Amino acid sequence: MSKVIVSPSLLSCDFLNIEREIKILNKIENIWYHLDIMDGHFVPNLTFGHPIIAKIASIAKHPLDAHLMVTNPEFYFETLAKNKIHNLTFHYEACKNEQQAKAMIEQAKKYYPSVGISIRPKTDLQTIPMAVLEKINLFLLMSVEPGFGGQSFLPEAFDKLKELNKIRQERKLNFSIQIDGGISEINAKQLTALGVDNFVAGSFVFRVENNNYQKKINQLRE
């Protein structure tokens, strides 16, 4: 079975019973808790605020993985730091230029063990400077438009993943590749073969009966 990390997206869980949901997931090995943090500006929706994140952090037994879909990522770097977040990812599109992106990565690394960047599906991978890729710990490749759960996987993400993995191998870079959007047992094996190290899965994991999350997560790793 693959050692790929699965990061259940808590945006898709039962919010009225979020503590119960997390305690079920606490028993599953090699997972992260993925937090989609939206500001209503960079993307249309609003999601987790600081009090909810603090509550999640207090009961979570696995690493927290924060994906900032916000216009001003720097605002969150220090305010979220006390919540035991392992990985923090922000969007390259939120940066004005290469210099700002590199400075933001360095700033975030003061607070978080792992720092990543992400891009929207329509953003050309070639617009990301090599100097930025050399600084990150994780690259989050969006295979749907950010901001909404339950979307279908965009097939063009396969080509972008191949390109990203090629860059990583040829340049001998150390970042892991995370992919988010429309992930299921249908495409997981192919994505793993193309270099994915970490799956973000929301609807596939949580929209099941009897809270059989272990079975669903195993399907992504087979």
Model confidence, pTM:
0.94
Catalytic annotation, pick one of 36, 65, 124, 159? 36
Q: Under a CB-based contact definition with an 8 Å cutoff, are residues 202 and 179 in contact?
A: no
Q: Which of 14, 65, 159, 180 is catalytic?
A: 180
Position 41 scores a pLDDT of 66
How does pLDDT run along the chain (222 residues), one tens digit per residue? 568 999 999 988 988 899 999 999 999 999 999 999 987 667 656 677 889 999 999 999 999 999 999 989 999 999 999 998 999 999 999 999 999 999 999 999 999 999 999 999 999 999 999 999 999 999 999 998 875 656 688 889 999 999 999 999 999 999 999 999 899 999 999 999 999 999 999 889 988 665 689 999 999 998
In the three-class reduction of DSSP (H, G, I as helix; E, B as strand; rest coil), residue 42 is classed as coil
159 is known as an active-site residue: no
Q: What is the DSSP string of 17-38?
A: GHHHHHHHHTTSSSB-EEEEEE
- Decide if domain 5-182+190-212 falls under CATH 3.30.70.260: no
